[in-house]
Structures are given as C-alpha cells and as structure tokens.
Amino acid sequence: MTQSTKVLDGGWGWAIVVASFMAQLLAYGSPQSVGVLYPEWLHAFQEGKGMTAWVGSLVAGVGLIASPVCSACVDNFGARPVTIFSGVMVAGGLMLSAFAPNVQFLIFSYGIVVGLGCGLVYAATLTITCQYFDKRRGLALGIVTTGTSVGAFIYATAQNELIVLYGLDGCLLIIGAVALNLMGCAGFMRPLNMPGYYLKQKAALERNTEEQLFEKPPLDDLKISTGTTSEKTLMVKEMLITIDAKDIQTEKKKGSFMTGAAIMKIIKKKQHAYSKYMRSMHEILQDQAMVAFCIAVFLFSLGAFPPVLFIEDVAQSQGLIEEVSVIPLVSIGAIATCVGKLVLGVLVDIRWINGIYLYAFTMFAGGASLLLIPITKTYLGLQILSVSLGFFSGNWSLTSYITTKIVGLDRLTQAHGILMFFGGFGIMLGPPVVGWFFDFTQSYDLAFYFSGTCVLIGACILTLLTLPCWNRKHTENDRPDVEYTSNCDKVASVA
C-alpha cells in the first residue's frame, strides 16, 4: 500500500464516498422501509402476521449473518465487480417479488436474494472507502453509512406514493429498476489495490517470479505467533498465504516440490493456523464484557427492530389511518436514526464518556419507548416514539468502537463478526415473534411489552457485567489508540 499513500484522504476518494453513499441508499432504501410494504403484503396474501414478518426480518438479518461470505467475495473479486453483481441481485429480487404468488416466494425473492445483495453492497462500500482513506476514515465511513438511513427516509415516502399510483406490483418493479443504478455507482469504484492477491501469488509462484510473490505483504512481517502477546496476530487467510508461499518456495529449492512429505508439511501448518484461529475465538468468548455485549446486541436487535416493520400496521390497527401524514412513521424513524448515528458517534469520542455505558443508556431509553407504544393512542404520540426509537437505534455506530475497546484491534475482525452474528440472529427472530404474539392475541400490546422487556433486560445485563468491580482485564475509559491499517479483510468483516 505504500505506493498508494499519496492518494489517501482526498482526491478520487471523495468520489468513492459519494458513490458508496448512493450505493447504500439504493440498496437499503426499500429493505429499511419495508414497514410500508408489510401492510400491503398482509392484505394481498392474507397470511398471518408472523409468517409475513419473515420477509422483513430476513432481508435485514441475512446480510449480517452472511458478512464473512460477503467479505470473502470483496477480497477476492474487488469492490467494483461485487457491487455490479449485488445490483443484479437487489434489482432482480425486487422485480421478482412483484410476481410473487405467495409469502413463501417473497421470503426467497425479497428476504434472501435482496438481503444477500445488500450484504454485498455493505461490505464492498466499506472496504473501498477504507482503502482510500486513512486519517479521515471515520468521517468518510460516517458519511457512507448514513446512506442507509437517508435511503429509508426517501423510499418510505416514495413507496407509499408508488403504491397509490401503480399498485404494489408496479411499486416493486419501479424500485427494482431504480436499484439497477447500483451498476453506475460501481463504475466510480476504481480499485486502489488489485484484489485477490492470494491468487496472484500462486500464479507468480508458478512463473518463478519471486519479486512479485512477496511484494504484498512481506514475508518477514507475516510471522505466526508462538504464544507471546507481543507478536502480531494474523488472520487465518494471511497465515495460510504465508505458509503456502514459504513452504512451497522452500520445497522447490530443495527439489522436492509437490512430494508427499511437502504436501503433508503444508497441511499440518495449515491445521495449526486454523486451530490457532479457533483458540482465539474461544478466548474472545471467555471475556465477560464481550459476552455481555453480545447478549445485549442480540436482545436489542430482537426487541428494537420490529417497530421498523410493524409501526405502520400499529397505526392502522388502532384506527389512526385517517390521521396519517404525508411523511410515514418509517421515514420519521429513519431520519432520526441517521441523526442518532452522527450524534452518538460524536459523544463517544469525548474522553470522559464510557462507550459501553452510553450504549446501555440507549438501550434503557429504547426499551422505555417500546413499552410506551401500547398505551399511545394518538398518531402524534407514535411519531414522537418513532423519533425516540430511531435516534437510540443509531447506537449501531458504537459497536465497532466498543468491540475495539473490549478486545483490542488485533481481534476486532473476529469479535465483530461474532457480534454481528448475534445482531443478525436477533433481527431475524424479532419480527416473526411479534407477529406471532399478534396472531395469538389479536393485539400488539403484549408483543411490544415483550420487546421492551427484552431490551431493558439486555441493558441491565450489559451494565451489571461490565461494572468495574468485576476482576477482569479491561482498558481505561480513554479512547483506545486505534492504529488503522489498510487491511481490507478487517474492514469488510466489521461491515
């Protein structure tokens, strides 16, 4: 990356930021405002609320759970090809949903296909942005990630109008066609570094071009730790690349290339790399604060995501449809989330504010808002609660900061991957559970009491298990000295 240092933090990087912002807006606009489509699907297919809710929960959760796969695609093929392919997936899934004969088909076309496409966009945009920015990386990522909230704000209103003018099928066809502009965004994503350098290293080995083989990264810097904490911790793929390059080159010099002994030696070292990675994952899950944070993120996702899907149906079920304003509740919540991401991101930078307790506070406030939804009988009250829930849902911008604070930068990729799995699992379960509560009770009251209680329990667990009185290793409340690297694998996994 040294040859690319001169283009960091400016120049074409700002074109990358604009293209990535638009890519997230186009990809996440409909999934983030799926609450507008949910009542229409209920009316069209006459299925239970629990079954129909799987569509919205999958489109939000699949991308998070599949983030390791999305990261691998970006690393091997680059941000531009992945964004082009994701444009086909998102647009195709939306258009295919227009012809859905039942909810089960929608679960596949909208929930899985569009969800995976969104996950690919998210990984690609964050990776290419981090390649082009170093000192201003936080600002660039902040601008890019607000694209999801701005997209939700715009699409919620747009989809309402399109449904009135062209019906549900026409709406899905039009927004699917608009999503094809993702390919145009991909055109701006000029690669700063060629992807898939592992394959290039293998090709260079076959051509005996050693000067290309070890150009990125240098072998001297890629040492597998023998157990001391002072040595650099590597991702499994980096270790495997190093093992392949070192051992194959050594065996070639010895004249025993591709012999059985050489292959067994390489396999054993690869097994050592994988076992080391698994031990590192196990050590992360032994950290009490990390476990508490995973539980908190799961419970917050389980309870706080359903309003995004159900809030419009709540207003209709309470007979408030006559009072609905031009701006839907989903749009109000989306713009509040955008503001929350920026404000909470600024607050966590203040030295005397503890990021973990700030996250716990947002959970307490969000849980209280959820408990107030069943007793709110006016549309204005639902608007206020949508603002409150949206703002405190912006705490997703704190997750990478808190994870780094708990486990350190070396283990950020693994720890954040675990965290996102818990978050995605909660998002997938939340809406169906709330829908099932409604199907059994014919009311949202018990469902939102359940959701609010889950969020409050998560806040209590996070607060109690991270108190200073526990005998555990933890960093001070000062902001960690995060030394950002140019490792795209870390960025994509964090995404």
pLDDT in tens, 392-419: 988 877 777 787 778 775 666 567 667 8
Contact 490, 402 (CB under 8 A): no
Give the span between the Cα atoms of 495 and 492, in whole angstroms: 5
Give the Å distances, CA to CA, from 47 to 54, 95, 171, 436.
Answer: 11, 21, 21, 12
**256 pLDDT exceeds 50?**
no
Average pLDDT over residues 287-301: 89
Q: What is the mean pLDDT of residues 359-387?
A: 88
* pLDDT range class, residue 489, cuts 50, 70, 90: very low
pLDDT averaged over every residue in the chain: 75
CA-angle at 28, arms to 24 and 32, nearest 5°: 140
Where is average pLDDT lowest: 189-193, 195-199, 444-448, 480-484? Answer: 480-484
Beta strands in 58-197 (DSSP E): none
Q: What pLDDT is attached to residue 285?
A: 79
Tokens found for residue 469:
């009185």
pLDDT reading at 108 higher than 90: yes
What whole-number distance in Å separates Cα of residue 394 and Cα of residue 409? 23
Give the Å distances, CA to CA, from 395 to 232, 256, 461.
31, 56, 17
Residues shown for the chain? 495
Judged by DSSP in three states, 432 sits in helix
Question: What pLDDT is attached to residue 447?
Answer: 85
Q: Tell whether the model's pLDDT for residue 450 goes beyond 50.
A: yes
pLDDT 10s digits, 136-187: 666 777 778 788 888 888 888 888 889 989 999 999 999 999 999 999 999 8
Over residues 340-356, the pLDDT tens digits come to 887 887 787 777 888 88
Backbone torsions φ then ψ of 320, nearest 5 degrees: -100, 10
Q: 367 vs 130, which has greater pLDDT?
A: 367
CA distance 106 to 112: 9
pTM flag (> 0.75): no
Q: Which range, of 110-124, 207-221, 312-326, 370-384, averages the lowest pLDDT? A: 207-221
For position 25, what pLDDT does the model report? 93
Q: How much is the average pLDDT of 293-308?
A: 86
The mean pLDDT value for 220-228 works out to 42
pLDDT for 74 equals: 78
How confident is the model at residue 268, as a pLDDT? Answer: 65
Pairwise CA distance, residues 359 & 361, whole Å: 5
Q: What is the pLDDT of residues 67-78, one digit of tens each?
A: 767 777 777 788
Task: Indicate whether 60 pLDDT > 50.
Answer: yes
**Choice between 324 and 224, residue whose per-residue pLDDT is larger:** 324
Q: How confident is the model at residue 88 (pLDDT cuts 50, 70, 90)?
A: very high
Question: Would you call 17 helix, strand, or coil by DSSP?
Answer: helix
Q: How many CB atoms lie within 10 A of CB 479?
A: 16
pLDDT of residue 421: 78
| Distance from C-alpha of 22 to C-alpha of 181, rounded to nearest angstrom | 9
Q: Given this model, what pLDDT does residue 204 score? A: 57
